[in-house]
Amino acid sequence: MKNCECSEEGTRNVVAECLGKLALISPVELLPKLKSHLARPSALMRSTVVTAVKFTISDQVCYGVSSVGCTYSIHSNQL
């Protein structure tokens, strides 16, 4: 998590993508930890956490779309 506050935006994006993918693997364990970091005073930390959640959402694949939306979804790493 220390690299979440790196001054290099590219590094923070890589960290966020990795955290997002890890959150797909173990959401029960990692999402509460990410949420707790949203209260940190560092804008860089909060920004990286929000980006990690974005990657978590964008890495999900939805199949079985109906008039009410997705009937179920799977993660891209399960394909």
- Which is more confident, 73 or 54? 54
The three-state secondary structure class of 18 is helix
Q: What are phi and psi of 75, to 5 degrees?
A: -85, 150
Residue with tokens 């978590």: 56
* Tally of structural domains, the chain: 1
**Amino acid at position 69, single letter:** G
Residue with tokens 């990795």: 18
The three-state secondary structure class of 25 is helix
pLDDT in tens, 9-66: 999 999 999 999 999 888 899 999 999 999 999 999 999 999 999 998 887 655 555 5
pLDDT of the residue at 74 = 47
Contacts of 65 (CB under 8 A, 6+ apart): 71
**Domain ranges, residue 56:** 2-78
Burial grade of 48 (CB within 10 A; 0-12, 13-18, 19 or more): buried
Model confidence, pTM: 0.72
